[in-house]
Amino acid sequence: MGLLEDTANEILAGEDPWRALEDSGLTLAGVPEEAGGSGGDLADAATLLCAAGYHAAGVPLAETLLAGRLLADAGLRAAPGPLTVMSGAVEAAESRGVPVLSGTFRRVPWARSARSLVVLGDGIAAVVDPARARIAEGANVAGEPRDDVVLSGVPAERAAPCAVDAAELRRRAALARAVQLTGAMSRALELSVRYAGEREQFGRPIGRFQAVQQMLAELAGEATVADVAVRAAVRTPGDPVAVAAAKANASRAAGAVAAIAHQVHGALGVTEEHPLRRVTLRLWSWRDEYGDETAWADDLGAVLAAAPDPWALVTGT
């Protein structure tokens, strides 16, 4: 492992890693320094997100990275503290030279915990104080905050025109979730292999039974295929086909990996304190967020249908 991966794993394995992440500048990795970030590139951000998924870390790291990158695209600096980002139908009036925003946003990750809300809509990116928004608290299956946010004539603290549209923001968010999914799947595989080697039945570890070996091989195959697709998308984040294939693969594999891991563990993996439970609850949550495998397969199908040579597009020839 490299230094960044080692550091990320050391920090994210802790109970409350946010302070250490921020102190080390990792919450804005991949965001240019002139925009308030720590520099680096998307591969660095992906390394952090994969580690966050592996440790099932309960922090808004993906949201802060996405918000910081969006602010940089709009020429705005990212402020310290946890951020989240949301887009949708936004009405932006102007009062005394300041955009005044109205709109409703559903299931915004970590809105209640964010120091600033970053809003994308009506051709601008804007920073809003969450204290001036109405926030109805919700949660996903894993218990992570997914809040409804209503802005009713809220003046933006800062705003600027932004060329990024809602579709591009969705692609970025989907890629971030796909990376987190690969980290979580890696942990599920590791836990399952370890358990199969430790748990004995009929005088030998269950991992020596062919049926269990078959399940572990299938689990490893699903995790590996998803990881390959996600790594390819991280290398080419501007390619909508690569990102769609990555999220479709990761979301589809997440369900299979969670099911197999629990089969291997029997009843043990579902208890509150077991690490497998924390990992698989996130697999089930993240597979649906920013589009599940069906939604992204539909997107891929539409691209293929519109391509002059679909075979060349599929095979990359």
Q: How many domains does the chain have?
A: 2
Q: Measured between alpha carbons, how far is 151 from 133 in angstroms, rounded to an integer?
A: 5
pLDDT tens profile 85-94? 999 889 989 8
The predicted model gives 269-290 an average pLDDT of 94
**Would you state the pLDDT for residue 139?**
98
Question: What element of type H or E holds 279?
Answer: helix 275-286
Q: Are 104 and 139 in contact (CB under 8 A)?
A: no
Q: Which ranges of 236-307 does DSSP label H, i.e. alpha helix?
A: 240-265, 275-286, 293-306
Residues 9 and 118 in one domain: yes
The single-letter DSSP state of residue 79 is P
Beta bridge partners of 109: 146
Residues 136 and 181 in one domain: no
Residue 96 clears pLDDT 90, i.e. is over it = no
Residues 193 and 238 in one domain: yes
> Which residue is listed with tokens 């025109």?
161
Residue 218 clears pLDDT 70, i.e. is over it = yes
Q: What predicted TM-score, i.e. pTM, was given to this entire model? A: 0.95
**Would you state the pLDDT for residue 18?**
96
Residues 21 and 134 in one domain: yes
Mean pLDDT across the chain: 95
Residues 127 and 246 in one domain: no
Q: Are 294 and 302 in contact (CB under 8 A)?
A: no
Which residues are CB-neighbours of 317 under 8 A, at least 6 positions away?
A: 311
Q: Measured between alpha carbons, how far is 183 from 41 in angstroms, rounded to an integer?
A: 19
In the chain, % of residues over pLDDT 70: 100
Q: Confidence band (pLDDT; 50, 70, 90) for 1?
A: low
Domain termination site, one of 106, 140, 161: 161
Beta bridge partners of 136: 148
Would you give the end-to-end CA distance of the chain in angstroms? 33
Domain termination site, one of 109, 129, 161: 161
Q: Confidence band (pLDDT; 50, 70, 90) for 49?
A: very high
Residues 109 and 129 in one domain: yes
Residues 156 and 170 in one domain: no
Q: Are 19 and 152 in contact (CB under 8 A)?
A: no
Q: What are phi and psi of 122, to 5 degrees?
A: 55, 30
In the chain, % of residues over pLDDT 90: 88
Q: Of 168, 178, 300, 314, give the one whose Cα is nearest residue 233.
A: 178
Residues 8 and 133 in one domain: yes
CATH number for the domain spanning 57: value is: 2.40.110.10
Residues 154 and 177 in one domain: no
CATH number for the domain spanning 199: value is: 1.20.140.10
**Would you state the pLDDT for residue 236?**
94
Residue 183 clears pLDDT 70, i.e. is over it = yes
